[in-house]
Chains A and B, each alone.
Chain A
Amino acid sequence: MTVTDNPPASPVGSAVARWAPVCRLDDLVPERGAAALLERTDGTTVQVAVFRLLDDTVRAVQQLDPYSGANVMSRGIVGSRGEEPTVASPIYKQVFALATGRCLESGGKTPKPGLDAHLELFATEVRDGVVHVGLV
């Protein structure tokens, strides 16, 4: 069994109530994202953007792009700032850190009303070649 844990970049990592299987690691193209439709423990649905990096670690952030209000983050370009892996919004090109969800470059724009500038981070695990996303 291989377990690839994320570093505890965000407090959610430690408070996972349920690990939802999403897909096989092989279903993900390295350095591209995919969207997953999941249910939180309170029964609400949430769209999550899952990214496989070159070293086969997996990162997950909210699919909702706070700067456009569209569910598109999984379709952004994966890259790096310094040594930090990033994803850029495909709509207005804001850059977010994949390890923390933080917005690194807003391009002078503000998020849509009611949305946070940073992305919610989800814990991930790859177990028996299956990608799991941690939900609270």
Chain B
Amino acid sequence: MTSDPPTSGSSTPGADRRHVVVVGGGMVAQRFVEALRARDTAGEWRVSLFAEEPRKPYDRVGLTRYFEVRDAEELTLGDPALWDDPLVELHRDCTVVAIDREARTVTDRLGNVHPYDELVLATGSNAARPPIPGNDLPGVFVYRTIDDVAELRGWVEAKREAGRVETRGGVVEKPVRGAVIGGGLLGLEAAGALKALGAQATVIEFGTHLMGVQVDLGGGQALKRLINDKGIAVRAETATKEMKPHRRTGHVGRMDFADGGRLDVDVVVMATGVRPRDELAREAGLPVGERGGAVVDLSCRTEDPHVWAIGEVACIEGRCIGLVAPGNTMAEVVVDQLLGGEAEFPGADTATKLKLSGVDVASFGDAHGRTEDCIEIVWADPTAGVYKKLVMSDDAKTLLGGVFVGDAAPYASLRPMLGAELPGDPAAFLLPEGTGGAPDIELPDEANVCSCNNVSAGTIRGAVTDHDCTSVGDVKSCTKAGTTCGACLPLVKKITETEMTKAGIEVSTALCEHFEMSRAQLFDAVRVAELHSFTEIIGRFGVVPEGASSPGRGCDICKPVVGSILASQGNGHILSGEQSTLQDTNDHMLANMQKDGTYSVVPRMPGGEVTPEGLIVVGQVAKDFGLYTKITGGQRIDMFGARVEQLPQIWKRLVEAGFESGHAYGKSLRTVKSCVGSTWCRYGVQDSVGMAVELELRYRGLRSPHKLKMGVSGCARECAEARGKDVGVIATDKGWNLYVGGNGGQTPKHALLIAEDLDTATLLTTIDRFLMLYIRTADRLQRTAPWVEEYEGGLDAIRDVIMADSLGIAEDLDAAMAAHVEGYEDEWKAVLEDPEKLARFGSFVNAPSTPDPALAYVPERGQKRPATPEEIAAGPDGPVDPSLTGPVLVAGATLEVRA
């Protein structure tokens, strides 16, 4: 359990600072604290937050994602630094049990009493358990917290395990039968979660159609088809009468319906709605609404002027609202009020978008067309499961609401136009994309673009014009737009780019002055045009500078990109012919340049495996050439201080001993790190070293937009830290789980689960396609993590492309990888066999074996390191500067070398 230091309240330094206590640790509470700390620049307030759950506020909207990330930390909301703010105290696992309004104190579950100046109730809701007999049977769940989801997962996995039977034909798995009571937003997400866990799912809906609050009957019918396509059954107009236990296990086993029907089940999720948690308010004598919730006015204040309520527990305008966006607005309202403002709740934006993979549903405004004299414009394609409707004012000009099923593309740009006049014919907005017609909408500044974070179009424009934001990423961190559910991101991108263009800021994806294309465009252009040299490529696609008659000769940006593209498309050795002029010095010398102009040398040790004989050779080579040695983070050995003219001699020795290039210098596969796995480890469930060696040998030499790192762990303990890699493989008892898009470095990122329990052949194919898709479509120097994030449709879309072949390019990707695997040759071995290439490794063209006379080294911890300028100035006879007593210049570059 986490316990944070208790508040002492009165004796805090700066006692004139006022204290606001927030009860509840959900998304809205987090927003309140974040907004208060952002706006209270004078530090008038300190804030204490009491959370019931033992964790920081997390993204409940993204709960289903927990099945993918499996790491509660990744759902954590906002900047973690918020909780390090000295004016913020987070008490986790610390429920508030009583309020004393007279004394202005709250009491926590441990009996500690905390005084407050202002109190904010943000206790949210409980998932309702409808009063159906059997609602407390084992196997009946609600869907509200990380713990609920984790328990559900554990239950389904246990049922799957129990249902596995060995037969003569192999292992047969009895399906786990799941049902969800409630066909609303949450119910459909829960059904998607059941499917994701490998269970069957049937949605039981009491009303006439799915998502009855948000969509009309026509939309609901289209939605049913889409849901059915996902393999989820739907029973509408069905009331559940009773849930009965299984005779033997006592677990939930059967549902009986009011119409006489029945359904055998192994797990049931109840998702029929939520009930505000207003117990504290009730006990403190505050008025509550008819259907619960602490009654507040438009400033979110209860009857008690020092007590406020925000989020789902607040009963505002006579009702509680179970959406995060209005809750966030309430949080901002109270912050404004505490700081002396007069903000009021502007009314709820109840626009919603379902986040269920592959099912597009969105609605906003008057979705049911209840406004008097309104006009409904409907476009439906029943075979494709598409239903789109706009609700317009009686003159067909003003947008009042909309429903989108099967194609929610217009949602992002239309929702902010709610209440505004649409330009042109409203029907044009409903036509399928590509049929043209939909006019570009110039949103008014006050239009709300990101409803989760209440960010207007004007704020986004201001981020570009007044805050120097030059990318969607900048705008996201500056305005918080698109950081919660992400549905508005396409619109944020569009507004950002339009504004940048207006401000004269280049939004071009041009590589450099020589190519107007992005790396991905150039990759395709080169592939399709079947070009094989830089001169051809720049001649065909290069920009002709003003006043010149032919394109330029490239630069240090575009040449390595073209070099990498040519290498990825199989054009022979990277130093052959003109290709050699494209390589930066690392690729040109097949070694890594260090600060003094010497190089480091890394032989490949696949999977981090090396024989004692190999280690001895590496040690002997380092000793003979006077190299500094260090173990790398990728489980191999780096030898530093090799001069250009030494590289061929060093590699001759290494190649003779069976080593090959480790490509530590290339934007290419570096290493596949592994733990020792089942061959030695007591816990390993698969041979992780064997798999790592196989992967490293398969992808060695593969040129890519940036370096690639992989890892393979032999069990869930994850000793290889595979989830910190671009491609991470973790053994399960059934096969391999595959994670993609992780990296360490400046912005560490955990890789995301893309597929589970793969056999070896499927694993390889999936990685093949992932890598090739990345190589084809990523930007220059874009690692896999930002690529996955920016890929249209994100990880789900990538999964569709590489596992379901949604673009029909899988065969092509497979062929490209097969060509790579087949065409691999050791770059160093090839250089050693080619006198022409070898000739480039001289130190001076007029004195090829004379070392650079400027190199100088001093000893440190038993090895050498480059001398500092001061040490060089002091000369080889010892330091002149008395402060330099330690190191002595050991040698110039001409260390004795045994040939």
Which A residues contact B (CB, under 8 angstroms)?
A: 21-23, 27-32, 34-38, 45, 47, 50, 54, 64-65, 68-72, 75-83, 85-86, 88, 90-91, 93, 95, 112-113
Contact = CB atoms under 8 A, between A and B. Distances in A.
Contacts of B7: none
A127 B248 CA distance: 100
Contacts of B556: 76-77, 79, 88, 93, 95
Contact of B554 (A68, A80, A83, A90): A80
A90 B593 contact: yes
* Most chain B Cβ neighbours within 10 Å, of A22, A38, A88, A95: A88
A23 B513 CA distance: 33
B262 to A, nearest CB: 72
B845 interface: yes
A82 B545 contact: yes
21 contacts: A28-B845, A32-B581, A64-B854, A65-B597, A68-B597, A70-B595, A70-B596, A76-B556, A76-B585, A77-B556, A77-B560, A79-B514, A79-B558, A80-B545, A80-B552, A82-B513, A82-B548, A82-B552, A90-B585, A90-B593, A95-B555
A41 to B, nearest CB: 17
What's the dominant secondary structure at chain B's contact region?
loop
Contacts of B846: 21-23, 36-38
Contacts of B554: 77, 79-80
B589 A78 contact: no
A8 B846 CA distance: 25
B840 interface: yes
A69 B585 CA distance: 17
B847 interface: yes
A29 B514 CA distance: 22
B589 A75 contact: yes
Contacts of B839: 27
Given A36-B845, A38-B846, 6 more contacts: A32-B580, A34-B845, A50-B845, A72-B593, A79-B559, A90-B585
Contacts of A81: 513, 552, 555
Task: With a 10 A CB-CB cut-off, give which of B593, B596, B840, B846 has the most chain A CB atoms.
Answer: B846
Contacts, number: 115
B869 interface: yes
Contacts of A47: 844, 852, 854
A75 B599 CA distance: 12
Contacts of A78: 553, 581
B886 interface: no
B584 interface: yes
A35 B840 CA distance: 11
Nearest to A82: B545
Contacts of B847: 37
B745 to A, nearest CB: 19
A70 B556 CA distance: 19
B843 interface: yes
B548 A83 contact: yes
Nearest to B556: A88
Contacts of A23: 845-846
Contacts of A65: 597
Interface residues of B, number: 40
B840 A29 contact: yes
A41 B477 CA distance: 60
Interface string B807-851: 000000000000000000000000000000001101111110010
A90 B843 CA distance: 16
Contact of B595 (A27, A45, A68, A93): A68
B588 interface: yes
B593 A85 contact: no
Given A68-B595, A72-B593, A90-B593, A79 B555 contact: yes
Interface string B536-550: 000000000111100
B845 A35 contact: yes
B340 interface: no
A37 B844 contact: yes
A50 to B, nearest CB: 7
Contacts of A28: 845
Interface in B550-606: 552-556, 558-560, 578, 580-582, 584-585, 588-589, 593, 595-597
The winner among A29, A85, A86, A93 for most chain B CB atoms within 10 A is: A29
A72 B597 contact: yes
A83 B545 contact: yes
A75 B665 CA distance: 15
Contacts of B593: 72, 75, 90-91
B548 A90 contact: no
B445 to A, nearest CB: 35
B601 to A, nearest CB: 16
B739 to A, nearest CB: 33
B774 to A, nearest CB: 25
B853 interface: yes
A71 B853 CA distance: 10
Interface string B423-441: 0000000000000000000
A35 B844 contact: yes
Contact of A37 (B546, B552, B559, B850): B850
A31 B552 CA distance: 12
Nearest to B575: A29
A75 B585 contact: yes
Nearest to B855: A71
Contact of B845 (A27, A45, A85): A27
CB-based closest 6 A-B pairs: A70-B597, A79-B555, A88-B556, A90-B585, A80-B552, A34-B845
Nearest to B512: A79
A4 to B, nearest CB: 18
A133 to B, nearest CB: 9
Contacts of A88: 555-556
Contacts of A76: 556, 585
Contacts of A70: 595-597, 854
Given A23-B845, A45-B853, A71-B852, A54 B553 contact: yes
A78 B839 CA distance: 19
B619 to A, nearest CB: 27
Nearest to B549: A83
B598 to A, nearest CB: 8
Nearest to B551: A80
B284 to A, nearest CB: 59
B555 A86 contact: yes
B585 A29 contact: no
Contacts of A50: 845
A112 B854 CA distance: 15
B579 to A, nearest CB: 11
A130 to B, nearest CB: 11
A31 B596 contact: no
B512 to A, nearest CB: 9
A79 B553 contact: yes
Contacts of A91: 593, 595, 597
B553 to A, nearest CB: 4
A22 B548 contact: no
A54 B843 CA distance: 23
A54 B550 CA distance: 13
Contacts of A45: 853
